[in-house]
Amino acid sequence: MNATDPAAQALSAAPPVSTDTERTLLVKVFGKDRPGITAGLFTQLAGFGVEVIDIEQVVTRGRITLCALVTPPPAPGAEGALRVTVHRWAEEHRLQAEIISGTGDNRPRREGRSHVTVLGHPLTASAVAALSARVSEAGGNIDRVFRLAKYPVTAVELTISGVPTEELRAVLAAEAAVQRVDIAVVRSGLHRRAKRLVVMDVDSTLIQDEVIELFAAHAGCEAEVAEVTAQAMRGELDFAESLRARVALLAGLDATVTEKVRSEVRLTPGARTLIRTLKRLGYQVAIVSGGFTQVTEHLVERLGLDFAAANTLEVVDGKFTGRVTGEIVDRAGKARWLARFAEQAGVPLEQTVAIGDGANDLDMLNAAGLGVAFNAKPVVREQADTAVNVPFLDTVLYLLGVTREEVEAADEVDGAPTGD
């Protein structure tokens, strides 16, 4: 529109449509959904010259609820005719209509705004009731609710205002544990969608196995290694010390067993979907492991990952020596690698996501912009930003605000398999 256009000048000079004291009409229609309802309602309203202030529309199980907040018609005495016209149109289309007169726009959103993602398998009414009650008791208000996914878990996102994010997280995390649902609470803002690097632990996170135990099974010492691993993951043993003790048990094992171990590795359900979707969104994806490069290098090639760091089993004359070489990737090492990957990717730490399950992941989870404890040990769940306790790695996407429908739509376009 040209700057000298009278219509453009009038629009730029017009005062705001609504203030707290100006009259407004809330027009609500609901009933069986079908194509053309939204266009039909606004066609009726257009005949009265009203201005649109706000629109909300929700379709649930084939039933539509459409709300329009508009100014009263400018012509004197036209409001009655508008009401008659909307009700008549609604009846003709087997819809119900309600028109409520009031003043002003929606109440301004209060300070302390957060996005809350709730994951349930199943998500029960009692869980929703309890979480909603905690929000109210904390002084918060649920401004909006939106479903992100219906499988493999039910995931809903709530927009909440009126209570500081940290306070809300503490309150809801305690209730979520009681209700046996997973919950993530993050501060609203552009930063939420700006996370551009995801760094994952490998053992029992990206994959279902503990790689050291797969090697140990071929060396005949699986039980001994598994017990030391469990103690380390619970934080009962220093990781570096436990790593050396476990690796020592592999001394003399033929290194050709590496190919067998690679074939035995089982990806966590949803791992491919998570990585594929993140890459489509422009994320860079890395793995950092207390396991071994003999396996992580294969995963990088198999999954198209951007960065990787892990320990390396020393090999001499075709056999494992029972030692590791180079810098040990332990608890502190994982956090260091997170920072290195972020620097290489050109991403600040506050725009990173870290995912892990063990005590040796805690420094990394705490250093990242968002730390996700995935089917983690209790000590990790208690200290991470959020916890996911369902066996599907792609549920992490819901914490980033990605819906299941968006994932599947992208898969259909690319011809990729879903649900892997």
CA distances from residue 41 to 30, 38, 44 in whole angstroms, order as listed: 11, 5, 5
Of 393, 284, 293, which Cα lies nearest the Cα of 347? 284
Alpha-carbon 382 to chain mean position: 19
CA distances from residue 182 to 372, 373, 379, 419 in whole angstroms, order as listed: 11, 11, 16, 20
Check: CB of residue 416 under 8 Å from CB of residue 409.
no
**Helix (H) or strand (E) segment spanning residue 128:** helix 125-137
Cα gap 416→280, rounded to integer Å: 12
Pairing state of beta strands 307-316 and 284-292?
A: parallel
Tokens at 31, concatenated:
């009933």
The 3-class secondary structure across 276-297, one letter per residue, is: HHHHHCCCEEEEEEEEEHHHHH
Beta strands in 78-128 (DSSP E): 95-103, 114-120
Check: CB of residue 361 under 8 Å from CB of residue 377.
no
Q: Of 33, 203, 363, 411, which one is the catalytic site residue?
A: 203
Bin 256: left if φ > 0, else alpha if -120 < ψ < 50, else beta. Answer: alpha
Q: Of 201, 209, 363, 394, which one is the catalytic site residue?
A: 201
Pairing state of beta strands 307-316 and 319-325?
A: antiparallel
Q: Is 54 a catalytic residue?
A: no
Tokens at 264, concatenated:
């035995």
Sheet of 23-32: strands edge to edge?
52-60, 63-70, 23-32, 95-103
Q: Is 203 a catalytic residue?
A: yes
3-state secondary structure of 264: helix
Q: What is the set of active-site residues? A: 201, 203
